[in-house]
Structure 1
Amino acid sequence: MTQGSGLSRRAALIGCALLALTAACGGAPGGSGGGDGKVVVWHGYTDHEAEALGKFADRWNADHPDGQVELVFNGGNDNALQKTLASFVSGNPPTVAYEFGSSLSGLAERPQTQDLTSTVRDDKDFAWDDLFAAGREASTVNGKVYGVPALVDNLSLVYNKKLFDDAGVAYPTETWTWDDFRSAAAKLAKPEENRYGWSYTNDGSEDTVWRFLALLWQADGDLLSPDGKKAAFDSDAGKQAMQLLHDMAVEDRSVYLDTGDQQYVNLFNSGRIGMLWTGPWDLGAINEDVSYGVQYLPGKVTHATIAGPDTFVVFGEKGKADAWPFLKWLLSPQIHLEFAIETGHLPIRQSELTLPDYPKFEEKFPGNKVFVDNLAKNVRKARPNIPQYPKISQALGTAVQSVLLGQAQPADAVAAARAEVDQILAGS
């Protein structure tokens, strides 16, 4: 991800102090989408991702002199929501902005944000249903579509083959259970030598929470009740998920607790961490001399994973008319597959997997195959696209953090978080 996505990756509300910063960013030529038909796209890509997006924008512009696209770097995707909200205050929003999926519920309430429901569903050439379900869900709030998928990713298990070989532990399989996972982590770990079987981001942020949600879903649990009015994780599934974290981190001492500085990748490279639950965004940071494998997450009842899709959001009625042809082209099967081959981003459409060039993607990024398979096989639920989610995440993140640090017992932490989330949902 770019979330990441992260996931550390999800933005909160903005203060007026950001206005000056955003005014400078929004003041780029054509920053409001203007009246000249120019499509201004804010993004946070750097390095090869920025180069690739620039290449595709140039290609579009060469063929569309009356519908030019201008890319504007907004300083990084982590700050996308804050800068977008500030641009509304300044009256100079972009035509399109790259946003984390979890930002969409807040943006959907803003009059500048365009409802794309009829656009995406009535345009048969766009083939809305061809998009992976994770991307469709991330783009939808209360049954209405307010974005289109810009990126889709998910968590899988990445493991260091040498550490498994040295410990005499068989590589993970697609049928691995929680017991298999815990046992392997314990055998790989030597905490007295600062070597660990698994890493868990434990800063209490959304990076902490979305890994817990995967565990919750693997135990066949849910975050909220079907009507979304009550917490549902104070259940057998929620307690089992939290207990596993406690047993591995506190009892087995097999878990490296990352503070959010993402040192886990460096430690994985140096042979001090055997397994990660991460996404395709981290594969490029693994050293070439590290032999690693990728497998589905271990299972309890299912092998559920969690996706972190991000979206392109359109602002202004005229912006929608101007931007849609470009977005439709950029997200078409063949063009997006070309972009995926350039960047390592996962396909966003099922039909991309059937195109003649798709084997090039797997050949170039062999580690991504499991992530792609996950999109169709193990992504079954999504985080709720509701305005209260950031506060819910904060409450649950604090609970998970306290358990991993040995400061609270699993059942107590789950119960306390449930009470807090129920108050959040009740509006008190």
Structure 2
Amino acid sequence: MRIRTAGVVTALTLALAATGCSGGSDDPATPTSAAPAGAGGKLVIWGDDKRAAALKPFADRFGQENGVTVEVQAISKDQQTTFVTASQQGSGPDVMVGAHDWIGNLVQNGTIDPVQLTAAQQQGLAPNAVKAVTFNGQVYGVPYATENLALIRNTELAPEAPATMEDLVAQAKKLRAGKKASELLCLQVGQNGDAYHAYPLFSSAGGYLFGTAANGDYDKNDLGIAKPESIAAFQKIRALGEKGDGALKRSITVENSIATFTAGKCAYLVSGPWAVTDVKKAKIAYDISPVPGFAGAKPAQPFLGVQSFYVAAKGKNKALAQEFVTNYVTTPELAVALYQAEPRPPVLTAAYDQVKGADPDLAKFVEAGRNAVPLPAIPEMASVWDPFSKAESAVVGGADPKTALTAAAKTISGQIN
């Protein structure tokens, strides 16, 4: 989840066939089943390239056990829009794999059904992940992995984790003065900003996007972007920017932030699990810790992203889809395979316990995400990303926070009201 971008869709179809099956129930307290024995049918699953490859052998087995044909189609980019459009046209899948913050939009468009997880199955999953896939009181996805930002540091340059953002900047300035690093911090901003990567600092300084209702759900009517506490937070972000300390720069982008770190040009990188592969390839000695907040302020709260399986409301075989996502996705074997395809902390406790011993980074990312807040899944969040990000970029460049955020809030309010 480096940054939200649109792209071109490609598809690769893997046809899988076999034999056998089981009976079913619509009672959420009991596992759903596919179809009467020998009924046959077809299940279509959409996921990104890596997930599709990992799913193939399990889809094959599911087909063999249930006497159905399974097709796994790899959708490279723009998955959410492609899914909504295809569903509305009657050409969508039965199962969709994607991010949890799609849920509000998918529900609003009538494209997904609640999933029928038993109480015991839910108890075997990380509670914060179950919370993230719960919308309007119903569980809409079967979560399988989480991701959040952390501070990755070059331990040869920075042996100790900084306690605060001020400590980080002070140490980074010493490294730059000694010509050991040319950048203070690799945190991607870019010319258009990056709300996702800015959020830990924004939250630490007291800013907020949406308030919450009494039941804990986000309240679309309480937009916090232009409120005094959010403006004050952006004052702190401006002080880190190009007219201040220079820790935040628009020249650090989604394309070069990790590469700048792996080249040894900065000691500190704010990124997620996706960065670790490149860091290891570069043979950088590294450690992982929570993103530090500002001195005397709240702890930094990154966003928690949760990858999930959804049952398509307009799928042609919803009983099979419920069977697959509730009784196959919740098995440790499949959860571990998805972890191996792209390492993220597994949501299934039994799978996490299997892999954590061989991957110490997992526990460190989990710890860094202990205070993480689920990405808002309400549909209105889609209107926030671009205006908020552009306001961040402007403020990092030296613009007045109140002016930038007031303009962003006006744009967002116009879109959601």
Q: Answer yes or no: same fold by TM over 0.5.
A: yes
Residue 336 (structure 1) shift? 4.7
Q: Distance in 2 between matches of 1:397 and 1:363?
A: 38
Q: Deviations over 1:354-385 (max 9, x none)?
A: x4xx3xx234322222112344x222x22322
Which of 37, 42, 53 is the equivalent residue of 2:55?
53
Confirm or deny: 8 A CA contact 2:260 2:266 kept in the other structure: yes
1:393 counterpart (385, 389, 392): 385
Q: Distance in 2 between matches of 1:418 and 1:190?
A: 39
Question: Given the alignment of the two structures, is residue 8 of structure 1 paired with residue 4 of structure 2, yes or no?
Answer: yes
Aligned match of 1:167: none
The residue type equivalent to 1:209 in the other structure is: A
Q: Percent identity?
A: 21
Match of 2:327 among 329, 332, 352: 329
- Given that 1:156 and 1:296 are in contact with CA atoms closer than 8 Å, whether structure 2 keeps it comes out as yes
Q: Which residue of 1 aligns with 2:106?
A: 107
| 2:304 counterpart letter in structure 1 | A
How many angstroms apart in 1 are the aligned matches of 2:402 and 2:247?
A: 21
Matched, 1:184 2:166: no
Offset of residue 150 of structure 1? 4.1
Indicate if the aligned counterparts of 1:187 and 1:197 stay in contact, CA closer than 8 A.
no
> Alpha-carbon deviation of 1:404?
1.3
Post-superposition Cα deviations, 1:243-263, rounded to whole Å, max 9, x if no partner, equal 332222221223353564422
8 A contact 1:243–1:410 mirrored in 2: yes
**Pairing partner for 1:124 from 102, 119, 125:** 119
Q: TM-score normalised to the size of structure 1?
A: 0.78
- State yes or no: 1:254 paired with 2:247: yes
- Residues 296 and 340 of structure 1, relative CA distance in 2, 3 Å threshold: farther
CA drift of 1:136 comes to: 2.4
C-alpha distance in 2 between matches for 1:332 and 1:177: 39
Q: Indicate how the Cα distance of structure 1 residues 291 and 237 shifts in structure 2: closer, same or farther if over 3 A, else same.
A: farther
Q: Which runs of 5+ in 1 are unaligned?
A: 13-17, 165-169
Does the 8 Å contact 1:189/1:254 carry over to 2? no
Report the equivalent of 1:79. 78
In structure 2, the residue matched to 1:278 is: 271
**Cross-structure match for 2:196:** 210
* Deviation, structure 1 residue 72: 1.1
SS at match of 1:413: helix
- For 1:101 and 1:204, locate their aligned partners in 2 and report how far apart those are by CA, in whole Å: 27
SS in 2 for 1:417: helix
Distance change >3 Å, CA 133–CA 182, structure 1 → 2: farther
Provide closer, same or farther for how the CA distance between residues 151 and 329 of structure 1 changes in structure 2, counting only shifts above 3 A.
same
Deviations 1:281-332 (A, max 9, x none): 1111212521111001112322422112232221136533111222223432
CA distance in 2, matches of 1:67, 1:262: 43
For residues 75-112 of structure 1, the C-alpha deviation after alignment (integer angstroms, 9 at most, x for no partner) is x1x31112212312432111111223332222112334
CA contact (8 A) 1:199 1:257 kept: no
Contact 2:202–2:237, Cα closer than 8 Å, also in 1: no
* Matching residue of 2:336: 338
| Selected match of 2:160 from 163, 168, 171 | 171
How far does residue 339 in structure 1 lie from its aligned partner after superposition? 2.3
Q: With structure 2 as the length reference, what TM-score do the two structures score?
A: 0.80
SS of the equivalent of 1:412 reads helix
Instruction: Give the distance between the partners of 1:204 and 1:143, measured in 2 at CA.
Output: 38
Q: Deviations over 1:371-404 (max 9, x none)?
A: 12344x222x223222221212211111101011
Give the direction of change, closer, same or farther, for the CA distance of 1:188–1:144 in structure 2 (3 Å limit): farther
Distance 1:247 1:26 in 2: 48
SS at match of 1:151: strand
- Are 1:41 and 2:45 matched, yes or no? yes
- Which residue is 2:71 aligned to? 70
Pairwise CA distance, 1:145: 2.8
* Alignment-derived partner of residue 347 in structure 1: 346
Counterpart residue type for residue 94 of structure 2: T
Match of 2:185 in 1: 198
RMSD, aligned CA: 3.3
Q: Compared with structure 1, are the counterparts of its residues 236 and 390 closer, same or farther at alpha carbon in structure 2 (3 Å cutoff)?
A: same
Q: Report the 3-state secondary structure (helix = DSSP H, G, I; strand = E; otherwise coil) of the residue aligned with 1:97.
A: strand
Q: 1:310 to 1:221 in 2, by over 3 A?
A: same
- The code of the aligned residue for 1:8 comes to R
Paired amino acid for 2:205: A
What is aligned with 1:230?
A: 222
Task: Kindly indicate whether residue 231 of structure 2 is the aligned counterpart of residue 239 of structure 1.
Answer: yes
1:56/1:188 Cα in 2 relative to 1: closer, same or farther (>3 Å)?
A: farther
Q: Distance in 2 between matches of 1:37 and 1:80?
A: 25
> In structure 2, what is the equivalent of residue 153 of structure 1?
147
Structure 1 CA distance, aligned partners of 2:368 and 2:395? 28
SS at match of 1:332: coil
Q: Which amino acid aligns with 2:83?
A: T
Conserved? CA contact 1:216–1:238, under 8 Å: yes
Q: Which residue of 2 aligns with 1:97?
A: 96
- The count of residues paired between Structure 1 and Structure 2 equals 384
Residues 165-211 of structure 1: per-residue CA shift (max 9 Å, x gap): xxxxx5215xx123223323333346999821212322466x71122
CA distance in 2, matches of 1:223, 1:191: 39
CA contact (8 A) 2:62 2:324 kept: yes
Tell me if the contact between 2:332 and 2:351 (Cα under 8 Å) persists in the aligned partners.
Answer: yes
SS at 2:298 equivalent: coil
State the alpha-carbon separation in 1 of the partners of residues 3 and 134 from structure 2: 18
Residue by residue over 1:219-268, the C-alpha shift from the partner in whole angstroms, topping out at 9 and shown as x without a partner, is 34421233330322434542343233222222122335356442222211
Matched residue SS, 2:237: helix
1:204–1:401: 8 Å Cα contact kept in structure 2? Answer: yes
Which 5+ residue runs of structure 2 have no aligned equivalent? 17-33, 213-218
Q: SS in structure 1 opposite 2:73?
A: strand
2:266 maps to 1:267: no
For residues 249 and 191 of structure 1, do their structure 2 counterparts lie closer, same or farther at Cα, with a shift above 3 Å needed?
farther
